[in-house]
Amino acid sequence: MLKLIGSRLLVLPLLLLLLSALIFALLYLLPGDPARIMAGEYASAETVDRIRVQMGFDRHPAIQYLTYVRDVLQGEWGRSYQSNRLVLEDIKQVFPKTIKVTLAAEIISIILGVLFGVLAAVRRNSWIDRSLMTVSVLSLSMPLFWLALLLQLLFAMRLGWLPPSGSGDLFSRYIILPALTLAIPSSGYLARITRAAMLDTQQADYVLTARSKGLREFSVITKHMLPNAWLPIISVIGVDLARLLAGVAIIEVIYAWPGLGKYAFDALAHRDFPALQASLNVLAAAVLFVNLGSDVLYGLADPRVRAEENG
């Protein structure tokens, strides 16, 4: 297990460096002059040129990137063009909110997805199975922005049960709609994976033996089938959590949730390159660390991985 973790940790810095270089290159190609943005619309050409030299925008892109990497390693992430605040301080404020809504969505999707998947597998080819799988396909087919608008219309505008946007404390009602919007497609996907994993274990020898001993069906499902179906479910959960982190921006914008995704969107709208670059790098690093955690968790859950490493 330590060999697996060590190999992943050795590759991680290289991946972070490559991703940061790619993000820097893409942002460099965006239209807009950062010096002009910092100077203001009505600033003179001399002022713009002076800012360009002071900020190093006149240097070669490779030199700019190496300077950026050096500054990041020293904890200097620059200042936001919009607010003139330190980008690192802004990231510390908004990133926990993104983590909070992402984890809430993942918990909801695990509960609903595993429950519906097990129920569909137990009632295979029944109307329950067909209904749940139809709902799961529909949930995967709906665009997130459209689903968010539907939930806002239903729960906020029509029923008045939940606020349509904004944020609050950890256990406030504001997190319910954003988390539910993210969780619905994930739970549909997880339900299909859980159903398939459960069906693969139905004819296994240990399941047939447990049934032949006269164990109750509930015990067979919870103690024999579900524990052995967790391996593909765990791998899917890790991938899904990384997907949620990568796609949370649109939900934060729609619900005005002050997380890292909305921070990056606002930075893009205002061509705030330091804030945008830092946001994308943090999101990319978070996805890489989630994938690393998923690999480690899978290795802990699957004894074959440990046996192969020890062998």
Q: At 202, is the pLDDT very low, low, confident or very high (cuts 50, 70, 90)?
A: confident
Look at residue 23 and tell me whether its pLDDT is greater than 60: yes
What pLDDT, on a 0 to 100 scale, did the predictor assign at position 310?
55
What pLDDT, on a 0 to 100 scale, did the predictor assign at position 272?
80
Separation of alpha carbons 21 and 217, rounded Å? 55
Separation of alpha carbons 166 and 58, rounded Å? 40
The residue count for the chain: 311
Q: At 126, is the pLDDT very low, low, confident or very high (cuts 50, 70, 90)?
A: confident
What does the pLDDT look like over 264-291, one tens digit per residue? 888 887 778 888 888 888 888 888 888 7
Separation of alpha carbons 176 and 66, rounded Å? 42
More confident residue, 168 or 250: 250
Question: pTM of the full predicted structure?
Answer: 0.80
Look at residue 143 and tell me whether its pLDDT is greater than 70: yes
DSSP H or E segment with residue 245: helix 230-246
Structural domains present in the chain: 34-76 (no CATH), 88-310 (1.10.3720.10)
